[in-house]
Structure 1
Amino acid sequence: MSSQQRPPASTMDFSVSFPAMRGIQAGREFYVIMCPLRYLPRLFHFDEEDVPAELRAQRALNRNRVPALVHYILDNRQDYVFSSLTACVDGAMTFEAQEETGHAHRLGVLHLSMDSHFLINDGQHRRAAIEEAMRADPSLAEETIPIVIFADEGLARSQQMFADLNRHAVRPAKSIGVLYDHRDDDSGIARLIVLQSEFFRSIVEMERSALSKRSRKLFTLSAIYNATQVLLAGSRFETVEEAAAVARRYWEAAAHHFPDWHAVQRGELSAGTARSEFIHSHGIALHALGRVGNTLIRDHPDADQWQDQLAGLAGIDWRRSNESLWEGRALIGGRVSKATNNVVLTTNVLRAALGQELTPDEQRTEDAYTKGRI
């Protein structure tokens, strides 16, 4: 409601006011307010969970998501970031602009009647997390979050708003999340491995987590991240840089035994051809290499020792056409499978080539595989 459409004074006897900006979308006025966090639990609600979905304008709150958000706030107290919430208000609103014309016409104070119902359309998990985080750290109450306010036009409109707000939401690829995450040590390690390696820097896709057939890259940063987590599991390092140096040394030593990787780097073999013809050019192989590398690093702290043992990798026939070896292990019906059992069965091939013993779990998986082939 604009400042020219003031409700009767009696409806605004009790109101709450916020600094606000006024805008227009699809011919409707909306407002962006700066809301102190202490007001969120008092004013802005999400639909009751026991109300049937068809009578709600929001999905049910998933309580399992809230603790991670609470930890994010409290663990990053000095630099957490939350995007704006979206809410509908079904009561009286008045907007007092600073000026009648110019930019200040869109700046002012939004008054919301306390008789209104304030409904969260988007951001109920952030709101729930903020409420819990304030119990642990009351100083959060004085901080603010932007809220986009629309006038409530009924259930159908609110449900459509929810659908529209989420229809085009796209979760960023894991690779770019790893690239841009400066809080997570594992992300920092993966990032340093690639950026400090002349070889891997040229064959690793840093932004996308899926490679097209025409991509010139052989692996994704997310695949390096996942495999390196396995590689360094249980190891202790003083710094991220030290961990990245050990991991980079391992991955470069392993790469020495894959001439096809180097052929891709030199432009003599297309990455698409390598992925279509060889198992070693897929994330499952990196994961398996991480598992056997974890054993090498733990058993042989001296890099010269485990670098020599990697020579066994050269004796593996990695061709996808070698169905007698790979079908049922890395391949299911001719397609590469990332299932846990397939990772283990692929790891078992590498352990045999390197002279490593299988773990009890790996042996059980191997026995089940062998029994199924008889």
Structure 2
Amino acid sequence: IIGSLSNLEIAEVCARSGANCGSIFLDMRFRELVRTLLAEHPAHLDPASQAYFMHAFAETDKLAYMGESDDENYFHFTCFNVEDPDDPSVGLVNGELAIPGILLRREVFDHVIESVLNLLEEQMAKVHDAPIDALLLVGGFSGSEYLFKRVEAQFRDRIKVIARPSDADTATSRGAAQYGLARRPLVSSVIAGRAYLMKVKLPAEHDDWMKRPAYIRENDAGVSICENRVQYLVQKGAILRKGQRIKTKFCKFSATPQDRIFVAVLYTSDSDKVMRYTDEGPVSELCKWSVDLGLLPSFQHHAVHGGNGQGFYTEFELGLELDSAEVRGVLLHQGDEVSRVVFDFFQ
């Protein structure tokens, strides 16, 4: 987003990440608390009564609740069925259910808010030492005074601006509607949230003999090859045009025309470090991409006319495309697409 807090504009659209831990989870925990308190009073546990309690909680106390300062206060919820006798031991008095603030905090609010704080910490850990300019709370739970107080207490020393934009409860929906109705690209760039790299075999260089001699093997053509090398397709933090195709050249030696499959082992990394070998830092295997080089005219030509029984090399290009929702791999011949595969969905 760009602009001032009073007039925010879309700068980049991305897929959601993290997990669900918002307003609906407060409702679920409140409902379980009511069921527990009124287990001996089934007259208040029919669907209409539960809906009545839930509505009262959602409309007032869910957002107004202040946390520890409300521990000694009681929150009163009118019962749908007022004919049931009083039971002060569970808070049933004069047709109302009275719940202590400290019980609401421990059984309803704290668990959900801790989940939110943990998710924020996980997101911050992924950017390492990169500065975070602002943290904006949006969605139905963003209006909670207790949530805002807890977030501000935990992050104010690390994030300068912690705020709720106007109409925060509908901010994401309005942004999605604006993006969908614009009928023009609102976002032209994508920031790679992590690095995409491949495990490759490359001709051994002096550094490889010095650093990883155990990785060096002689291939069928008698060339010294270093295994477990890393080739970056996209580095973390790279700013790409939406849908931009990043092309990388490769070469495969085929001993026979049947040796047509190039297996590309793709990895991702959240590290800012640029690695030479797969064992130099934290990497996660994303998938094994089996690329059928037999689809390439150059391979077909060599398979029929080349090699003289000694095998042959095929040069080719692989492309990587990123947008806001997925990552795609493309096999190319002279710049034209031959085949493609989707190998990463952003969750």
Same fold (TM over 0.5): no
- Please identify which structure carries the higher helix content: 1
TM-score category, normalised to shorter length: under 0.3
Q: What's the TM-score once normalised by structure 1's chain length?
A: 0.24
